[in-house]
Amino acid sequence: MTDLTELTAVQLVDGYRKGAFSPVEATRAVLERAERIQPEVNAFVRLTGEEALDQARRAEERWRRGEPCGRLDGVPVTVKDILLTRGQPTLRGSRAVSPDGPWDEDAPSVARLREHGAVFVGKTTTPEYGWKGVTDSPLSGVTRNPHDPSRTAGGSSGGAAAAVALGAGPLALGTDGGGSVRIPASFCGIFGLKPTYGRVPLYPASAFGTLAHVGPMTRDAADAALMLDVVGTPDARDWSALGPASGSYTEALSGGVRGLRVAYSPTLGGQVAVRPAVAGAVRRAVERLAELGAYVTEADPDFTDPVDAFHTLWFSGAARVVQHLRAGQRELLDPGLREIVGAGARYSALDYLAAVDVRMELGRRMGVFHGSYDLLVTPTLPVTAFEAGVEVPKGSGYRRWTGWTPFTYPFNLTQQPAATVPVGTDGDGLPVGLQIVAARHRDDLVLRTAHALYGAETALVTARSAG
């Protein structure tokens, strides 16, 4: 029998259309899986079983009549507990946030999913206010890696990544301010997309400003394209949102990579020390892109590590996000968050504007770079998942999570679309991710390149099975 928790959203919708199975069956299977994995992995802050089943029953009736209400009618989804979800508390991983309502509004991306009939099975874990690249918080504890529960799932959308990886819903909404979709997606072996800033509207506005993106976390690129077609539409509450996309991301998947100019930068010009197992898996995937017809050149973008500017913007945002808290409430915060809040409060307006200048120059350099190359390909991370419950790998010498994420946060500064694709594992069976970056507004190129890689992998597995 078909294991409904292993199907993608595209496959679920096709099955509903054909009457092979129902939204209620799929939702029950996902809820059972979520309840089973929760004690060990801790992907959820809240499961909404009865509400989800009620939504699934209504979707089932619509499919029975042949009148689905949208492109995701009856598909189970999860929402990171940073994004407002009507009828459910959004606690942002913090004991300083009161669960008292009213919780009467959806974030734009959640609203679009609801309009298209998605079934909301739960809210997923996040570090406090999404401040770091791993997922643990004083409120909900430690979220663990699906491949090895002694390791971290990454963050800050760690619960979302773990849920998708373990079949607790094929679609998840995450947020990404410095890699928070791509980091956990890479560590957990799934697909994650940070769209061009503004492609997915955000409300309320993030205290981290225009670093913060909302993006899909899925089994593959086809599901992410479908999800982006749904959530990537304007919302009047976000003044910085982009206008309607020029076409369907799903329809753009079939373009392939033949003729695309791909710059492969394994270490950002020697700036990043990458573990050999990671470097090898990424290089093999890059070779597959060349075999598929892309013009691959080893080339590095022209920038030095912008971590100081990123810290200025990120730490200032953290200070702003907790500015309203009383002294007693601040004592409830994650100690690491309190540290960066203190640093952020000490920056001046001139410090902030100097960081904006660095950001603008980085954006200019990447704009020029993409005049020569359609895509930049790098490792998503230089390491695989390390021990759970710590911000940095033990013995690494890093002070903050940005020390081991040098491939991700630069492209939040530039607002470019960037995705991670699983391309193998290391010697411990832990997933390795490849990052695909395109010029602003070229989310279609990122998705179609990822889709081509998934297609090549599927063909390879099929050939091995036949042999």
Q: Which of 22, 80, 109, 206 is catalytic?
A: 80
CA pair distance 120, 192, nearest whole angstrom? 19
| Cβ pair 169, 76 in contact under 8 A | yes
Task: List the one residue out of 30, 119, 19, 105 whose CA is nearest residue 69.
Answer: 119
CA pair distance 171, 27, nearest whole angstrom? 12
CA pair distance 423, 284, nearest whole angstrom? 8
Helices 307-321 and 349-372: crossing angle, nearest 10°?
130
| Cβ pair 406, 305 in contact under 8 A | yes
| Cβ pair 70, 164 in contact under 8 A | no
Q: Which of 156, 157, 206, 316 is catalytic?
A: 156
Residue 156 a catalytic site member: yes
Q: Which of 109, 180, 206, 316 is catalytic?
A: 180
Residue 98 a catalytic site member: no
**Sheet of 295-298: strands edge to edge?**
44-47, 119-124, 76-80, 171-176, 213-218, 191-194, 418-425, 431-438, 375-379, 261-264, 295-298
CA pair distance 365, 357, nearest whole angstrom? 12
Could you write out the three-class secondary structure of 24-60? HHHHHHHHHHHHHHHHHHCCEEEECHHHHHHHHHHHH
CA pair distance 106, 89, nearest whole angstrom? 11
DSSP state of 393: -
| Cβ pair 153, 145 in contact under 8 A | yes
What residues are annotated to the active site? 80, 156, 180
